[in-house]
Structure 1
Amino acid sequence: MPRPQPFRPSPLAAALALVFVSCSSAAQAADGEQTLNTVTVSGGNTPLAVSASPNASQAQVTAAQIAQMNVVSTEDTLRYVPGLNVRQRYTGDRNAVISARTSVGSTPSASSLVYADGLLLANLLGNSYSYPPRWNMIAASEIESMDVLYGPFSALLPGNSAGATVFITTRRPEATELHVDALRTQQKFALYGTDSTYNTHQEQMSGAFRVGNLRVSLMANHLNAYGQPMSYATGAASTGSGSTAVSGFSRDAGTLNEGRWVWGGYGIDHSIQNTAKIRLDYDFSARTRASLTYAEFRNDSDSSAESYLRNADGSTYWGTVAGQRISTGTNQYVTVKAADFGHSMSATTNRLWGLGLNTQPSDELRIELVSSHYSTPQDTSRAATNGMLQGDSGAGTITYGDGTGWQNADLRAIWRGLTGHTLTGGYHVDQYSYSSLKYDTSAWRSDTTTRLSTQAEGKTRTDALYLQDAWKLAPAWTFTSGLRHEYWQTFEGYYYDRSLSSASKRFDDRDGHYTSPKATLAWQAHPDWLLKASLARAYRMPTVTELYATATSATGQKYIADADLKPEKILAAELAAEGAVGGGLLRVSLFQENKQDYILSQRNSITGITALSNVDKTRVQGAEVAWSGNDVGLRGLDLQGSITYAESEVVKDAARPEYEGRPLAIPRWRLAGFASYRASDAWSASLGARYSSRYTDLNPAFANYDLYGASSGFWVADARLSYRFAPKASASIGMNNIGAEKYYAYHPYPQRTLFAQVKWDY
């Protein structure tokens, strides 16, 4: 098969664009000035992917709701959305991944999508904690609304929408505005030998102005964040003698109920994050608008460690290069190495270019073009071989990920010119490029390298055509059918490992065609009640890092990619009823998701190796109830709440039959509730609560979930009080995790955190 060409839209896309633009010009010329004022594009910000969606389950977060929450980063705004969990381990965490009601584990980054004004923020280079959405490209103060769709029922979206799709819409300025925000947080954290306070501050400014038909929006954000230890140096005791001059161990039972000793915490992140963005919107006419976005996010991080061990003189013990046997009791010892106390640094620069065109040539036709380019011109990670013991000099590794990124484009149109039908169709193309080069170095904080250790690189590309028809069968009945056809390619895959020459190879290029039909039947059974039934096929393509990015972590854990992975084949179904109840809106949903060739990443507890493979069949089924209402029993009191129940299992796994019948890592129960009360124009308050049962593990020997190393259940509550002390100024205080709950997504989540915020809006 010939190697694919560099990223460019196909001739079909160019032809469609030419036809659409020609139609637009002709229609505007024919309509004249009078008709241009009847329908305006600039006032309608809702993306076509939302307005044309047949999805039965939807949720929305508004700017008014966001104003009542304790929000540092954009992902905080999703905290109370039904069926969702965002894995944010500390303020400033750059690995905040969405987990939806059918998503397996707490870090399935490739099973959900995030867009901002149509630009893709979801990082589909991989499917793990290392590939979260690029939340930093959006500030909470910019958001007008957030729409959440559940499931792969829209032909306009790829199979990555099987979990949830978040559409962020930002405000379009009509006049000059300015928003200034200063925030401080303080987390009190205690676990094992750590008992510390972590302070974070953020300064943010956003604003906009208009000159004629040109709107200019600006945003700048600075975050100086400190996090608690993310991981811990642990081990089981061995029989034998060891040194008795060191003390300070903690002890508990591990996830497999094994006794373990804890002697240090690492992954203590201090990051400096800076974001700058400019967006230009230009109205060529009342029917045609174009936008250009440029955003840059920079992060500098220092990840350090603390040792709980003390020498006899009280000084800190950092282990030894070869490892020292330290006594933990009579005839028992653990081996403590300097590498247990990891020290690393990273510096990244992320850039996003976005182009949008929205035009309405006639009352029946609307066209939307969105294209984006995301790149990392700098991505450097440094790690010391012997942790904190060696300080700022000595041997280590340097990993370069420069040039990794993605490009994509969507050209779509919606046409209402055929009586009883609303047609939506379009073309999509994307390309993902990955590159990682890891070098040994004699000076880990410098740019001096000695020899290449590992190298991984590769690309994927998807071209898709889709068509969807919403057919009004009768006044109360609508049947929406869709078809999405995708041509997927992976190419230029390469892996090199100096220590394992047998694993080093250049992989064969692969491609395939995949067709996904969709169908939704909607019945307006009563003016207040809408019933929907949906069925959809979808494919979640392997990401480029799942195919090629075999790697070894700083702690020596091996992660094995698989270049022969098949796409996940998804069959999703949902029954839903939505109607007015108790002065609010009630939604009841029954959902099921069957997967063939589910891509599973599983760590072998004996070898320490994590390998990817296709599991033959899995199933998830459940129910969700969500309700929201405004001015509920009291003017100014808004309430929302949800309950999600899910059951899951591995139906067939020929490679690991012992997993068959075992539940997947999906919480059985999730609950969320949020109440806000506007007592007056000056005072407002809110209270939120979240519950999740634990994420189970496929390993039947897994015994303990409510501790480090497991994904535990939790019950946490948050509160906020705000006061507007001047017409354009307000102050707020808040608290997250009021009860100081200790809970985990392998790593520990934040404990009780205080918030103080001052805002000024002009």
Structure 2
Amino acid sequence: MNRTTRRLAPWALLGLLQHPCTFAAAPADETTLAPITITGQATAPSGLDPQLPASTQSVTARDLQQINVVNTEDAVKYLPNFAIRKRYIGDANSLISVRGTNNSQSARGLVYVDDMLLSNFLGNSYGFAPKWSMVFPDNIERVDTFYGPFSALYPGNSMGATVAITTKMPKKLEATASVQGFSQHFDQFGMDRNFNGSQSSATLGNKIGNASFLIGIDHLQNTSQPLQFATPQAANGGQPGGTPVSGAQSYIDQYGKPGVIAGTSSEGVVHLVQDQFKFKLAYDITPTIQAGASLSYWNRRYRNDNESFLRDPQGQVVYAGRVNIDGSAYNIDPATFANSAGRTESALYGLSLKSHQQHGWNFAVDFSSFDVLSDTLRTAAAGGTNAGPGTIESTRGSGWNALDAKLSYTPASDAPGAHWITVGYHFDRYHLDDQVFNTDDWQTGGMQAPKNAFLGSTATQAVYAQDAWKFASKWTLTTGLRAESWRAYSGARSAGDASVGYGSRHETHYSPKASLAYAATDDLTLRASVGRAYRFPTVSELFQGSLSGLSIVNNDPNLKPESTLSKELAADWYTDSGLFHLALFQDDVKDTLYSQTDTTVIPNITNIENIDRIRNRGIEISYQGENVAVAGLDLSAGVGYTRSKILENSRSPETEGNNFPRVPLWRINAVATYHFTQQTALTLAGRYSGRQYNTLANTDINPDTYGGSSSFMVFDAKLRYQVSSRIEASLGVDNLFDKRAYIYHPYPGRTIFAELKFKL
């Protein structure tokens, strides 16, 4: 990175995040740079703050070419102090984990694509991940991510991080196609198999006059490694008795106690087939006003197959009943090895109208709607059967709508006294309709007697204002205020013919923000930021429970919103070798919403409760550089330390002083790419995650086993070769040394990739 590039980088980034423009002048207090044109049609999502009052990290399409990417969430897996809980290729439950937000707190991360909200705030857990699959990875132009709730343009769900994905639009006739195959080997707990998959995609686009369009299709099929296992507990009291069985696998569980694994259970091995369709349209009404529309369709079919390892003396498979394993009695519930199958169809619609003048006033209006067109999960009542009774769960009709309207002002120069002003309005509505029915045939039967149901809605309206004021040549003060009015309504829960409704709730909160930046030198910027934010309870946390299977989840319609007071001190230093970033942060969080489970009783009982006070404190150091040490070597690396501590928990005082679950003390991510020639590049990447706990009590003392949360270091690699201007080939591997690691579920083993891309 030469000196001119270093000096220009912040201004170029700002330009990319606003609109195509030409920079003709540098700031008044800096050396004048030659004019440069920022090309491309990419604009930031309407919520993305162009003043960036917090730590920011970005990934470009060029960066993504160098790493193994199958699903969209792979784009952010190497960001500093950042991790993605992705259990297998095609996992619909891939969640963000950043700083003190763990990988089960899905409602603490914002994800946008082209101004449309992908975040699923119907709940706050594994089953409510962002809808990453609405984006084709090859269509990504850049991903901009910033940490913490320091901008008034965002709701309190930005407590963790905000991810803004910008996709490409063609400027001429373009066509692409790609095919990819991948395979992993899994050898553990008595299973020794290969699990394979493939992905293929194609796009066609053009710009004709003032109109441009893009059409794309994508097909993915994959089989996961085993995700969950049956770990029955020895029966209490009485004589051992039961049918003697063999095949159970002995292991030491996450609490350091001996246990047995009797087979795969619940999700088990997932077989999935997924199809996507994408259509985008943009029309330039005038040279500075553009209208846009988009449609994304997602169809996912999957089976969760389970297998019992248990065999009786005659060699027959045992699925249920009282059994004798090595002299101890176990009661195997009939539902333990039950198979299931599901299908989901969803659509994301988007409309936009915005202006992009270089100076003066601009507006942006964005509307998006995510609809669950159909969603059924069929589950057998007992294992080892392809017919017979079971249940059908449907969430058809669930979804969300979001509207954002923004007015912003950009001054003609950044001379002292200049103001960058933004005012806006936001509305969102989330609706959940979750119904479970009994059926006499779990595979083909119809919905019969209702078993249980949960439904409800939340809606939020917000107005905000933010001003970035350059009050001196080296000083910029950004202040903002967000006012949010939230309500929950139409909540109900039923079991069989009995039903109970919940009254509506309404709360209003105000979130002030402030950030002070100081340009200490031409190459060094210092910044201090502080922000208050509120994260309101989701529909599921308020109204959804569960009355089936091996567990009970109790809801609480009176949960308080989470609130945080977040602080950050940061420095950005541009050198001849690259960009260094340092951030010190602290989040003081009140009323954290978190699930606590009593596993000492069967069925288990889980309650989502408010934890009084948690403090997240840490440091991040990152580096990005090109041609580092030698020509052709690009390097990015990040080290993050986070101490997330439970300060007060009146519902469970014994957890006070403990580490908050699933927040590792250390995260280290690094990517090094060496360009041998313009056609050939080799990338080596590494990801390290340190010690963490799965439980609030921190009693899981044996993390490197099923049910635990491992510390791990894995290495990935990719060799990319540009065969011609139209053809690209690559070979890659994730988890190069086949490290065994767990996030309760086993992470994938060594996975090998082969890919071929064509471009017209």
Please confirm whether the aligned pair reaches a TM-score higher than 0.5, indicating the same fold: yes
Structure-1 residue corresponding to 2:296: 295
Q: CA 1:111–1:340 in 2, change beyond 3 Å: closer, same or farther? A: same
Structure-1 residue corresponding to 2:633: 637
Structure-2 residue corresponding to 1:262: 261
Q: 1:52–1:424: 8 Å Cα contact kept in structure 2? A: no
For structure 1, which segment, 115-124 or 257-266, has the greater mean C-alpha deviation from structure 2 after superposition?
Answer: 257-266
Query: Is the counterpart of residue 654 in structure 1 residue 650 in structure 2?
Result: yes
Structure-2 residue corresponding to 1:20: none
Correspondence list, 1:680-691, <5 A: 680-691=677-688
Structure-2 residue corresponding to 1:516: 511
Tell me, in whole angstroms, the C-alpha distance in 1 between the residues paired with 2:525 and 2:433: 48
| Alignment counterpart, residue 576 of structure 1, candidates 570, 576, 579 | 570
Q: 2:89–2:224: 8 Å Cα contact kept in structure 1? A: yes
| Alignment counterpart, residue 706 of structure 2, candidates 704, 708, 720 | 708
Q: 1:55–1:151: 8 Å Cα contact kept in structure 2? A: no
Q: Secondary structure at the match of 1:606?
A: coil
TM superposition score normalised by structure 1: 0.91
Structure-2 residue corresponding to 1:234: 231
Q: 1:82–1:642: 8 Å Cα contact kept in structure 2? A: yes
Q: Secondary structure at the match of 2:520?
A: strand
Tell me, in whole angstroms, the C-alpha distance in 2 between the residues paired with 1:310 and 1:206: 51
| Alignment counterpart, residue 404 of structure 2, candidates 383, 401, 410 | 410
Q: CA 1:582–1:259 in 2, change beyond 3 Å: closer, same or farther? A: farther
* 1:502-529 deviation digits (Å, cap 9, x = unpaired): xx41001000110000000000001000
Matched positions, count = 713
Structure-1 residue corresponding to 2:85: 87
Q: 1:539–1:569: 8 Å Cα contact kept in structure 2? A: yes
| Alpha-carbon shift at residue 706 of structure 1 (Å) | 1.1
| Alpha-carbon shift at residue 362 of structure 1 (Å) | 7.4
Structure-2 residue corresponding to 1:730: 728
Tell me, in whole angstroms, the C-alpha distance in 1 between the residues paired with 2:367 and 2:345: 20
Structure-2 residue corresponding to 1:450: 448
* 1:408-459 deviation digits (Å, cap 9, x = unpaired): 0100121135952111110000000000110111111124233111110000
Query: Is the counterpart of residue 372 in structure 1 residue 368 in structure 2?
Result: yes
| Alpha-carbon shift at residue 349 of structure 1 (Å) | 0.5
Q: CA 1:40–1:234 in 2, change beyond 3 Å: closer, same or farther? A: closer
Q: 1:141–1:179: 8 Å Cα contact kept in structure 2? A: no
| Alpha-carbon shift at residue 582 of structure 1 (Å) | 5.6
Structure-1 residue corresponding to 2:249: 250
| Alpha-carbon shift at residue 397 of structure 1 (Å) | 0.3
Q: Secondary structure at the match of 1:390?
A: coil
Correspondence list, 1:740-759, <5 A: 740-759=738-757
| Alpha-carbon shift at residue 77 of structure 1 (Å) | 1.2
Q: 2:350–2:369: 8 Å Cα contact kept in structure 1? A: yes
Structure-1 residue corresponding to 2:469: 471
Q: Secondary structure at the match of 2:259?
A: strand
Q: Secondary structure at the match of 1:545?
A: helix
Q: Which runs of 5+ in 2 are unaligned?
A: 1-35
Q: Secondary structure at the match of 2:133?
A: helix
For structure 1, which segment, 52-61 or 378-387, has the greater mean C-alpha deviation from structure 2 after superposition?
Answer: 52-61
Query: Is the counterpart of residue 595 in structure 1 residue 576 in structure 2?
Result: no
Structure-1 residue corresponding to 2:339: 343
* 1:237-284 deviation digits (Å, cap 9, x = unpaired): 347334565311111121222221111013211011000010000011
Tell me, in whole angstroms, the C-alpha distance in 2 between the residues paired with 1:64 and 1:417: 32
Q: Secondary structure at the match of 1:699?
A: coil
* 1:324-361 deviation digits (Å, cap 9, x = unpaired): x322224x222234422120011110001001111146
Query: Is the counterpart of residue 198 in structure 1 residue 192 in structure 2?
Result: no
Q: Which amino acid aligns with 1:561?
A: N
| Alpha-carbon shift at residue 750 of structure 1 (Å) | 0.4
Q: 2:116–2:366: 8 Å Cα contact kept in structure 1? A: yes
Q: CA 1:39–1:725 in 2, change beyond 3 Å: closer, same or farther? A: closer
| Alpha-carbon shift at residue 230 of structure 1 (Å) | 1.1
| Alpha-carbon shift at residue 633 of structure 1 (Å) | 1.8
Correspondence list, 1:471-510, <5 A: 471-498=469-496, 504-510=499-505
Q: Which amino acid aligns with 1:436?
A: D
For structure 1, which segment, 619-628 or 598-607, has the greater mean C-alpha deviation from structure 2 after superposition?
Answer: 598-607
For structure 1, which segment, 623-632 or 443-452, has the greater mean C-alpha deviation from structure 2 after superposition?
Answer: 443-452
| Alpha-carbon shift at residue 655 of structure 1 (Å) | 1.8
Tell me, in whole angstroms, the C-alpha distance in 2 between the residues paired with 1:216 and 1:357: 16
Tell me, in whole angstroms, the C-alpha distance in 1 between the residues paired with 2:672 and 2:698: 40
Structure-1 residue corresponding to 2:319: 319
Q: Secondary structure at the match of 2:678?
A: coil
Q: 2:625–2:636: 8 Å Cα contact kept in structure 1? A: yes
Structure-1 residue corresponding to 2:737: 739
Correspondence list, 1:144-163, <5 A: 144-163=141-160
| Alpha-carbon shift at residue 48 of structure 1 (Å) | 4.9
Q: CA 1:43–1:401 in 2, change beyond 3 Å: closer, same or farther? A: closer
Q: 1:237–1:261: 8 Å Cα contact kept in structure 2? A: no
Q: 2:199–2:219: 8 Å Cα contact kept in structure 1? A: yes
| Alpha-carbon shift at residue 292 of structure 1 (Å) | 0.1
Q: Secondary structure at the match of 2:48?
A: helix
Tell me, in whole angstroms, the C-alpha distance in 2 between the residues paired with 1:43 and 1:278: 17
| Alpha-carbon shift at residue 208 of structure 1 (Å) | 1.1
Q: CA 1:337–1:513 in 2, change beyond 3 Å: closer, same or farther? A: closer
Please give the root-mean-square deviation of Cα atoms over the aligned residues, in Å: 1.8
| Alpha-carbon shift at residue 184 of structure 1 (Å) | 0.5
Tell me, in whole angstroms, the C-alpha distance in 2 between the residues paired with 1:687 and 1:359: 42
| Alpha-carbon shift at residue 741 of structure 1 (Å) | 1.0
Structure-1 residue corresponding to 2:307: 306
Structure-1 residue corresponding to 2:60: 62
Structure-1 residue corresponding to 2:381: 385
Q: 1:523–1:531: 8 Å Cα contact kept in structure 2? A: yes
Q: Secondary structure at the match of 2:73?
A: helix
Q: 2:429–2:460: 8 Å Cα contact kept in structure 1? A: yes
Tell me, in whole angstroms, the C-alpha distance in 1 between the residues paired with 2:136 and 2:167: 9
Q: CA 1:553–1:664 in 2, change beyond 3 Å: closer, same or farther? A: farther
Q: 2:283–2:292: 8 Å Cα contact kept in structure 1? A: yes
| Alpha-carbon shift at residue 400 of structure 1 (Å) | 1.1
| Alignment counterpart, residue 169 of structure 2, candidates 164, 167, 172 | 172
| Alpha-carbon shift at residue 615 of structure 1 (Å) | 1.2
Structure-2 residue corresponding to 1:616: 612
| Alignment counterpart, residue 566 of structure 1, candidates 533, 551, 560 | 560
Q: Which amino acid aligns with 2:352?
A: G
* 1:477-512 deviation digits (Å, cap 9, x = unpaired): 00000000000010000001239x5xx410010001
Tell me, in whole angstroms, the C-alpha distance in 2 between the residues paired with 1:60 and 1:623: 19
Tell me, in whole angstroms, the C-alpha distance in 2 between the residues paired with 1:527 and 1:361: 28
Tell me, in whole angstroms, the C-alpha distance in 1 between the residues paired with 2:588 and 2:563: 8
| Alpha-carbon shift at residue 681 of structure 1 (Å) | 2.2
Q: 1:55–1:150: 8 Å Cα contact kept in structure 2? A: no
Structure-2 residue corresponding to 1:34: none
